[in-house]
Structure 1
């Protein structure tokens, strides 16, 4: 396999699947189909990261059966080559809020079973200042600190947008106090930290493969469950089955007082979503092709702000029309100020 030739060929393709951080191109290699994964245009990081994705994929290979296999990784230029997994994304089978077949839920349960048994000894080294095993308070505060960094790095124009939408300068304070007061100690595990319908593939053998490991962390496994449930938007019955399935496969030391702390992490996800999606949805609103699409996106963002407001103690957000106007005004300011290419 000529990895550099595949990289150059992938750069010439116009069929890349774009995520927030990477471009993905399917190509045919001598050994069969592969996926070339290239960092996308530079974007402000909106998620906490710990390790390079290739190091994670190499570490999990003996333990996680349904994940991409790393074939090659390069740092100059930066790209990876993975095995290409044939299948359909879960959101193609069933979009957010719709029920999933039992075999898919079983596949997700099996994935958690394997993930929760990856030993720390197999993983890359942790930073010296990373929270110690079982320090769930320290882990939660690390998550909250990163969200506070996202809010704090807003320039003047974005700060105006946050203010108009009711996102406070310190959206994390109440949850930080709650973390100190409520969270129970639990054994840490490997976390994928981004399992949702677009990152899960249904394979020909009725398995569920999980993609995109660049956000993997070592921390409280209850956070990974809450992050997954928040992003996957399960139907009510499926949500209960997933929680029961996780409880069944999680080691006892990962389940201490987990249901109460699951609710804490759900609150964290609602808060983080509003902070991050003010930027992402704000741009989508401003760039929407028609009035109906802008209105729908503004209503979605308002729903996120309502869910977050109860955790940061704010009042009700503005009406969708006001959100739309604020987002367009913000993006006009950003676009005008941006230097010409």
Structure 2
């Protein structure tokens, strides 16, 4: 890699690893950050007497510039949140002080998704650990956590106001994801049958019927297979807490089910066990879940339309040249997302894969991406 192309984040990672560029791993895959893994030879391992113990490595990262943000941020700092969760949530990354900088320890292992892809059953011991995580999250109530929040008080729903909480999420998708990007994506959204009136249909479907009142707790809000890491002892770790917030506990379950893609029978059993766990920890946490869980799942399906359409354009813009290889893959993926969201977004007709593919290509031609 030539000197002029070395990013400031990589330079910092090399500097923090003692100047040894060969010891730096990365950049890791990730949307929000440019991340490198660096060795910390002076840091103590968890078990200094274990010769086979994993090395102590940390993540050196910086936010990527000019990103489109698809989700609300509640806490000022992920590291500050993780510090507050030490001793309360098991399986969160430790923090390591390097001078005046606080780094997250890198979890040595493999993501759950790399072992058990979406659609496959998750082993019961892993499922037990996921339920332990949910139990610990539900224990953490608003006001009980010493971590600074960035969202304004007027933008937060009152405790137990689950309908208000969902309205805040709908409004964020409408204003920050859809409207803020209309200059770039209005034509593409229109070609796919998505418009401002889609949010009216969404509110009528998921918010207007009303949701039961459930006591708020801490939500991870992004519990999918790539945010779970299994170490060499099969211990489950949970990473990427950037989207954590306080809110409706059932929303965390809905997000988890939507992202994990469990087989139907395992999804049913997990839901039953989650309900038993949540009710035992904080009575009222499952009130009205039979009616509200489908609505929250429909919100996730609708939300994915706005995020996945935009992400598809980013994937197809392969360094300024249109990615013909990815084109049919992204067209099929976007069409599936549109089909799943047809009811909550009030579509009269779901566009075909051919229509989606043509719309994506036309958008890139209009934007000037090289397609020749």
TM-score, normalised on structure 1? 0.89
Quick one: which of 39, 45, 54 aligns to 1:28? Answer: 39
Among 237, 240, 249, the residue aligned to 1:209: 237
Change (3 A) 1:280 1:74: farther
Matched, 1:154 2:177: no
Q: Which moved more, 1:163-172 or 1:224-233?
A: 163-172
Once the 2 structures are TM-superposed, how far is the Cα of residue 289 of structure 1 from its aligned partner? 4.4
Report the Cα distance in structure 1 between the residues aligned to 2:362 and 2:113, rounded to whole angstroms.
33
Secondary structure of 1:181's aligned partner? coil
Partner SS state of residue 108, structure 2: coil
Within 5 Å, give how 1:109-148 maps onto structure 2: 109-120=131-142, 121-125=144-148, 127-129=152-154, 130-148=156-174
Residue of 323, 335, 352 corresponding to 1:319 = 352
Structure 2 unaligned runs (5+)? Answer: 1-10, 44-55
Taking the aligned partners of 2:234 and 2:215, their CA distance within structure 1 comes to: 31
Q: Look up the match of 2:210.
A: 182
Of 232, 242, 253, which residue of structure 1 is paired with 2:270?
Answer: 242
Q: Which has the higher contact order (CA 8 A, sep 6+)?
A: 1
Q: Is structure 2 residue 91 aligned with structure 1 residue 60? A: no
The superposition leaves residues 30-51 of structure 1 with CA deviations (integer Å, 9 ceiling, x where unpaired) of 2121122321232021111111
* RMSD of aligned alpha carbons: 2.5
Task: Count residues in correspondence.
Answer: 330
Q: Deviation of residue 55 (structure 1)?
A: 2.2
- The 5 Å alignment of 1:185-200 reads 185-200=213-228
Q: CA deviation at 1:70?
A: 2.5
Cα distance, 1:290–1:335 mapped onto 2, change above 3 Å? closer
Q: Deviations over 1:16-38 (max 9, x none)?
A: 11312112221111212112232
Secondary structure of 1:166's aligned partner: coil
Contact persistence 1:193–1:224 (CA under 8 A): yes
- Cα separation, partners in 2 of 1:73 and 1:216, compared to 1, 3 Å: farther
Q: Answer whether contact 2:220 2:241 (CA < 8 A) is retained.
A: yes
User: Which structure has the greater CA radius of gyration?
Assistant: 2
1:99 paired residue among 98, 115, 121: 121
**1:286–1:327: 8 Å Cα contact kept in structure 2?**
no
Q: Displacement of 1:305 after TM fit?
A: 0.4
Structure 1 counterpart of 2:195? 168
Work out the CA distance in 2 between the residues paired with 1:26 and 1:34: 6
Aligned to 1:224: 252
Q: Distance in 2 between matches of 1:125 and 1:9?
A: 27
What TM-score does the superposition give when structure 2 sets the normalisation length? 0.82
Q: By how many angstroms is 1:253 displaced? A: 2.2
Distance in 2, matches of 1:48 and 1:74, equals: 31
Q: Work out whether residues 202 and 346 of structure 2, in 8 Å CA contact, stay in contact via their aligned partners in 1.
A: no
- After superposition, give the CA deviation of every residue in 1:233-290 in whole Å (9 maximum; x if it has no partner): 1111221122122112212221111232111110000000011111112332454744
Contact 1:283–1:331 (Cα < 8 Å) also in 2: no
